[in-house]
Structure 1
Amino acid sequence: MKRRDFLTAAGAGVAASAAVAMPAIAQSSPEVKWRCTSSFPKSLDTIFGAGELMARSVAEITDGKFQIQMFAAGEIVPGLQALDATQNKTVEMCHSASYYYVGKDPTFALGTAVPFGLNTRMMNAWFQFGSGLTLLNEFYKKYGVVMLPGGNTGGQMGGWFRKEIKSVADLKGLKMRIAGMGGQVLARLGVVPQQLAGGDIYPALEKGTIDAAEWVGPYDDEKLGLYKVAQYYYFPGWWEGCAALNFFVNDEKLAELPKAYRAALVTAAARANESMLASYDYKNPPAIENLVKAGTQLRRYPDDVMDAAYKESSALYEEIGAKNPDFKKIYEDMKAYRGPAYQWWQIAEYTYDNFMIRARSRG
């Protein structure tokens, strides 16, 4: 079911309930208490905060009748087991990132980000008005969950390096903290991917156990203090032109909800989806200024690195698609939208942004 169809159906339930006198609503609305486990710690206030906003909004819309309690990673289950906990009904829902579960199936990556995928606004458009959400939820049905968009970081940075990267040759043998498909692509360019939790990145860089690391962007990276142990900060994060977060809801538990509560949940998730991006857009500009003032050296990835990464990404998708029909179907749909979307972007958004950037540099 597409999101707009879901909203229409859910909205019908809201309209029907509105026709009943308020005292009757209060008497007939059941008290529902859910638990939502997050894949993120509370210290990531921008990401964890989106889950808190969703839960608060559900309570406000239902006059406190439908309560969702948020739990940080590790309080109920470890962060990377959030989806499993939702599948087996340990919790009713979770707030996570689909690409954390590529070990189950590489198709999971398409719900969050793939190298050289969509930018943030394109991702939301593909979810809501294209076939993205419908196709993904057909896939997620195999795992007993329904996905609602749950935030986006926007375009991410390309990581911290202890030495300057001037060409693809400089990547050979480099040990870099990076996971997922970005790590698979870099491995094809000679990088040795390392998987580390966020709290382990700083000491690993400081001790030289790793040579580079990616996390999110200026606001979150500044908190980790990575600028103190790695001088060069690269862009763009071509493996995450955006990173969509996801609310996964157990499908049986969702079906048990009254229609009005389902509508409340969809509305609250949409609010959280928009709020997270706005928060990052507001907090990243001063954070990048702080990092530069602290001595960070901003560097753009060389063209040969970008070209080689793009080529290897395309080859990787061909290889996965040849063996995995789910991945092929959804990726090809995304790719078909990406072409004309960037053509329109080039006409309107890029030309405007390019002018404003040049105007700013001229003072």
Structure 2
Amino acid sequence: MSIFWKKRSVFTAGLAVFALVLISATGSFAGKSGKIIWKSSGHGPASDPSQIFHDKLCKAITKATGGRLTVKPFVGGSIVPAYKEVDAIDQGVLQMAYSCPMYNLDKWPAAGLISSRPGGLPGEALRTWFDYGGGADLLNKMMEGYNVMTFPGALAPLPEEVFFHSKVKLESLADLKGLKARCMGDGGEILKRMGAATVIIPGGQLYEAMQRGTIDAFEYSTLASNWKMHFNEVAKYVYLSPTRAPSDPQVIFVNKEAWAKLPDDLKKIVQSVVAEYTQKQHEYLVFESVKAVDKFRAAGNEVYKVPRDIEVALSAEADKFYAEKSKSEKPIFAEIYNSMKEFGEAYNAIK
């Protein structure tokens, strides 16, 4: 048995035990009145707008269904460790979660493609590809064998991520060498290949990690989200560029068995409310990010575009990375990559 499967077995056993504790505490996932009760988790701290929208979404579903489906919201890390939300769905500890696909690279290497990654699709194109270009179907195909699914409308593309909040001024490609930086997903792997010393740290721990000097720079989310998390207080420089992450997609995942048990009318209500809120969050963060630039500057931060030589080198390294992965990984990797690439080329042709 591989080390991965040993680790997964241990984690699975732990979640299964936890699930039994939850079930015994509540009686079942269906209340005594016959109403259905779901548990859903975000992936971020309470101050993260994505977590806030997740919590509002859960309440909106409960209201829209007249309480027939009650979705109880939980903050990231409060039910299971941060970034393990999809594993918890697979084991039935959660019935729903709002998370980034790239947090599941340990299971699905192709998950990094539908994430904030170099060469990805910008927000409008990404949501269109996901809803109408077969993206949701491909994500479900990638997750075959797990008790997890998604559906069109469940992806919030979100605007481009901040390239870096940094204590170090970046003036050329050479400044990436040895830079201690928090970078997630494929972007983190690509920057590591370029010489950065990348680490994985949950979003809720970034402020403290910068204060302590554990890292010198980090990527996390949009200007709007990062302003609300007070990152202006721990990093002087803000670097902007769509090269590393032209969008910051997050997806609603649900437990297959729990979904199958929902009456058809409740499924339609859930899908409708989810689609409304994922789009609302995207538009809200685009608007707030425009305003946040001035807020960072007023707070004393220096806001710059990423040096051109870094952008060029990153794009070139990303092309090499994905060419290698398309050959070495399971066919689903190349299938998703090529689907996104072809749609992106068609999308750009009409711009």
TM over 0.5: yes
8 Å contact kept, 2:113–2:186 = no
TM-fit CA distance, 1:95: 1.5
SS class of match (2:313): helix
Q: 1:226 to 1:50 in 2, by over 3 A?
A: closer
Alignment of 1:343-362 (within 5 A): 343-345=349-351
- My pick for the range that moved more, 225-234 or 265-274, is 225-234
Q: 1:229 to 1:73 in 2, by over 3 A?
A: closer
CA distance in 2, matches of 1:83, 1:50: 18
CA distance in 1, matches of 2:206, 2:94: 30
Q: Which residue is 1:128 aligned to?
A: 131
TM-fit CA distance, 1:331: 0.7
Q: 1:74 to 1:199 in 2, by over 3 A?
A: closer
TM-fit CA distance, 1:241: 0.8
**Please, which of 277, 286, 298 is the counterpart of residue 281 of structure 1?**
286
Q: 1:191 to 1:254 in 2, by over 3 A?
A: same
SS class of match (2:336): helix
8 Å contact kept, 1:159–1:234 = yes
Q: Which amino acid aligns with 1:143?
A: Y
After superposition, what is the alpha-carbon deviation per residue over 1:102-121, rounded to whole angstroms, capped at 9, x for unaligned? 12221112233321110000
Q: Which amino acid aligns with 1:35?
A: K
Q: Which amino acid aligns with 2:332?
A: D
**Please, which of 319, 324, 339 is the counterpart of residue 333 of structure 1?**
339
Rg bigger for which structure? 1
C-alpha RMSD of the superposition: 1.8
CA distance in 2, matches of 1:172, 1:151: 33
Q: Which amino acid aligns with 1:334?
A: M
Tell me whether 1:171 sits opposite 2:176 in the alignment.
yes
Q: 1:314 to 1:54 in 2, by over 3 A?
A: same
Alignment of 1:207-246 (within 5 A): 207-246=212-251
CA distance in 2, matches of 1:138, 1:200: 33
* Unmatched tracts of structure 2, length 5 or more: 1-32
TM-fit CA distance, 1:284: 1.9
Q: Which residue is 1:93 aligned to?
A: 96
Q: 1:119 to 1:146 in 2, by over 3 A?
A: same
Q: Identity percentage over the alignment?
A: 27
Q: Which residue is 2:109 aligned to?
A: 106
- My pick for the range that moved more, 250-259 or 32-41, is 32-41
CA distance in 2, matches of 1:66, 1:198: 30
Q: Which residue is 1:23 aligned to?
A: none
CA distance in 2, matches of 1:228, 1:53: 28
CA distance in 1, matches of 2:293, 2:281: 18
TM-fit CA distance, 1:64: 2.0
8 Å contact kept, 1:53–1:268 = no
8 Å contact kept, 2:126–2:157 = no
Q: Which amino acid aligns with 2:168?
A: K
CA distance in 2, matches of 1:228, 1:65: 44
Runs of at least 4 residues of structure 1 off by over 4 A?
A: none
Q: Which amino acid aligns with 1:327?
A: F
